[in-house]
Amino acid sequence: MKRAHKLVSEYMEKVGSRYTMQKKAIVDELCKVKTHFEVDDFIVKMHQKDNDFSRATVYRVIKQLLEGGFLQKINTKDGKVFYEQNFGDKLHDHIICNNCGRIQEIKDDLVGDLLDKYCLKINFEADYRSLHIYGLCDKCQKKA
Ligand SMILES: [Zn+2]
Ligand SMILES: [Zn+2]
């Protein structure tokens, strides 16, 4: 959690934004969320904790953290958007079931290494990555 604050405060300074108590509290709360979450659920959670967290405030901070690369964004085919905190860890990719909505992680360094190499080859300086694979998970295939 300490590392998260350090990274975010450095980023806020870089972009000339204040790292307020509210932002710190949001980062604290994000650190506790270990799964993929929808922003509306998170807003409700923050608001229940403290009424001062308006929808607009939480949304604005989420947007800023996304710009800073501290959140990964996962889009499902039916238009839902999930987020996942990432304070300094390696980015990973996702496999999403179109039927049940299950999100699985791709945590194989081979994928990241391959993409890094590819970017290097075309001289592209990557600062964020979001790879999605859509289809049917093993359980849904059996049901079909
Ligand atoms: Zn499924
Ligand atoms: Zn993930």
d(CA 48, CA 33): 16
d(CA 11, CA 29): 18
73 and 3, same structural domain? yes
Which of 37, 69, 86 is where one domain is finished?
86
106 and 75, same structural domain? no
95 and 26, same structural domain? no
102 and 48, same structural domain? no
77 and 130, same structural domain? no
Q: What is the CATH number of the domain that holds 127?
A: 3.30.1490.190
pLDDT of 1 higher than 80: no
Average pLDDT score over the chain: 93
Which of 46, 69, 86 is where one domain is finished?
86
pLDDT of 28 higher than 80: yes
* Average pLDDT value for residue range 21-38: 94
Residue whose pair of structure tokens reads 């390696």 in the numeric block: 90
Domain count, the chain: 2
Residue 78 CA, ligand 1 centroid: distance in Å:
13
Residue 133 CA, ligand 1 centroid: distance in Å:
13
Residue 105 CA, ligand 2 centroid: distance in Å:
5
3-class secondary structure per residue, 46-71: HHHHCCCCCHHHHHHHHHHHHHCCCE
142 and 105, same structural domain? yes
* Average pLDDT value for residue range 117-131: 93
Output the pLDDT for position 143.
87
105 and 81, same structural domain? no
Output the pLDDT for position 22.
94
136 and 82, same structural domain? no
19 and 82, same structural domain? yes
- Closest listed ligand to the CA of 94: 2
pLDDT of 2 higher than 90: no
47 and 13, same structural domain? yes
The parent domain of residue 41 ranges over 1-86
115 and 45, same structural domain? no
pLDDT of 24 higher than 90: yes
- Closest listed ligand to the CA of 95: 2
Q: What is the pLDDT of residues 72-111, one digit of tens each?
A: 999 999 999 999 999 988 888 999 999 999 999 998 889 9
Output the pLDDT for position 88.
84
Residue 37 CA, ligand 2 centroid: distance in Å:
10
5 and 72, same structural domain? yes
Output the pLDDT for position 44.
93
